[in-house]
């Protein structure tokens, strides 16, 4: 359950907004500065990964046996690997 007496919806809404904000910040840095977009995107994915980990594994909203949790983790890590591969090449 969420810490601090928050409801599940409030807590995970904040996590989702934080993930979106980190990814949007990476896009803005890539679009508005001399930093290459691929580097900004990669750093934003890396910065958002602890938030995803926290929401999925440390304090998940679903039971550990829920199959959707594994699917979300696989998709997130596939996107992370994609961003890293693009940044390296």
Mean pLDDT by 10 residues, the chain (89 residues): 67 91 95 93 91 84 70 83 81
Can you give the pLDDT at residue 32? 95
Question: What is the DSSP secondary structure assignment for residue 62, as one 8-state letter?
Answer: S
Residue 23: what pLDDT? 93
Residue 89: per-residue pLDDT: 74
Q: What is residue 4's predicted lDDT score, i.e. its pLDDT?
A: 63
What is the Cα–Cα distance from 21 to 19, expressed in whole angstroms? Answer: 5
pLDDT for 29 equals: 96
The reported pLDDT for the residue numbered 62 is 66
Q: What is the pLDDT of residue 48?
A: 92
Cα separation, 88 vs 33, whole angstroms: 20
């Amino acid at each position: 359950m969420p810490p601090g007496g928050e409801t599940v919806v409030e807590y995970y809404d904040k996590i989702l907004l934080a993930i979106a904000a980190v990814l949007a910040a990476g896009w803005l840095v890539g679009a508005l500065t001399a930093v290459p977009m691929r580097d900004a995107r990669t750093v934003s994915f890396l910065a958002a990964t602890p938030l995803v980990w926290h929401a999925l594994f440390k304090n998940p909203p679903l039971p550990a046996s829920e199959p959707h949790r594994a699917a979300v983790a696989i998709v997130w890590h596939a996107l992370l690997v994609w961003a890293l591969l693009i940044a390296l090449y």
